[in-house]
């Protein structure tokens, strides 16, 4: 499980190399104080939740996860696949994926995932989690951008479409603002974390997940 530092992320306003850069150095973005950034976020419309499954399902599961968190990648390569097959696809669970941003790379991945629209989002998130080690590589920013674009191309997106998404300041701000608001409201301090029927839980195995869901569904 990856611990979340105190939420000091600011609005992402600096463009470099065609993408947005995020900093947590002393809780600020270069050129913009935390207070200024948080004030600017106050009037930003929050990015919408990304939802999978039946909107009217009897139980909602909210996951907080980072695209650069190894534990989150492991959850999606193991637990999530069975959770989707047995509970989401069967209409028992509405699943909400909320992104957590530890670093600029996670934000870039989120911008690429949302770039494909609602219908491609969960397919792209699966590809991003499955290929996490490969696209992060040695941490070189330019290579990470190239690798994320490769994932986008595999999903059918063109380079100009992805470049526009990576340079969408409004979307980047709204994603960061939604993260700050939601994670604070739910008291999230680690990834992956889950809010199930209003209660927060830490990472767990599929068997533990299934037992908990069955109990809440009364089955």
In whole numbers, what is the pLDDT of the chain averaged over residues? Answer: 82
DSSP 58: S
What is residue 11's three-state secondary structure?
coil
- In angstroms, rounded to a whole number, what is the distance separating the alpha carbons of residues 214 and 212? 5
- In angstroms, rounded to a whole number, what is the distance separating the alpha carbons of residues 194 and 47? 19
| Cα angle: 49, vertex 44, 197; to 5 degrees | 30
- In angstroms, rounded to a whole number, what is the distance separating the alpha carbons of residues 91 and 152? 29
Residue 41 confidence class, pLDDT cut points 50, 70, 90: low
Domain count, the chain: 1
pLDDT reported for residue 168: 87
Predicted confidence (pLDDT) at residue 22 exceeds the cutoff of 50? no
- Strands across the sheet containing 50-52: 50-52, 93-99, 59-65, 193-196, 199-201
User: Can you name the residues that pair with 97 across neighbouring β-strands?
Assistant: 50, 63
pLDDT reported for residue 11: 34
Give the model confidence (pLDDT) of 158-206 as tens digits: 999 998 998 888 888 899 889 988 998 998 988 999 999 889 999 999 9
Q: Are 158 and 177 in contact (CB under 8 A)?
A: no
Give the model confidence (pLDDT) of 174-183 as tens digits: 998 899 889 9
The better pLDDT of the pair 29, 125 is held by 125
Domain with 51, as residue range(s), is 2-217
Give the model confidence (pLDDT) of 103-115 as tens digits: 888 999 999 999 9
Task: Give the per-residue SS3 of 18-46.
Answer: CEEECCCHHHCECCECHHHHHHHHCCCCC
Predicted confidence (pLDDT) at residue 215 exceeds the cutoff of 70? yes
Give the model confidence (pLDDT) of 68-100 as tens digits: 999 999 999 999 999 999 999 999 999 999 999
Q: Are 52 and 97 in contact (CB under 8 A)?
A: yes
CATH at 203: 3.40.30.10
- In angstroms, rounded to a whole number, what is the distance separating the alpha carbons of residues 173 and 191? 21
């Amino acid at each position: 499980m990856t611990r979340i530092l105190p939420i000091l992320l600011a609005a992402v306003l600096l463009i470099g190399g065609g993408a947005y850069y995020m900093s947590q150095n002393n809780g600020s973005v270069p050129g913009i104080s935390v207070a200024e950034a948080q004030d600017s976020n106050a009037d930003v419309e929050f990015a919408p939740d990304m939802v999978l499954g039946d909107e009217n399902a009897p139980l909602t599961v909210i996951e907080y996860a980072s695209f650069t968190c190894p534990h989150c990648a492991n959850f999606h390569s193991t637990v999530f696949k069975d959770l989707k097959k047995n509970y989401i696809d069967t209409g028992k669970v509405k699943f909400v994926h909320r992104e957590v941003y530890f670093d600029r790379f996670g934000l870039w991945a989120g911008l690429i995932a949302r770039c494909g629209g609602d219908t491609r989002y969960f397919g792209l998130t699966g590809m991003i989690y499955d290929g996490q080690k490969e696209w992060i590589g040695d941490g070189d920013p330019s290579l990470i951008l190239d690798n994320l674009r490769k994932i986008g191309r595999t999903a059918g997106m063109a380079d100009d479409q992805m470049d526009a998404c990576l340079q969408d300041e409004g979307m980047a701000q709204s994603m960061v603002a939604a993260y700050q608001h939601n994670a604070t409201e739910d008291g999230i301090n680690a990834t992956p974390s889950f809010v199930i029927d209003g209660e927060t839980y830490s990472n767990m195995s599929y068997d533990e997940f299934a037992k908990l869901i069955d109990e809440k569904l009364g089955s």
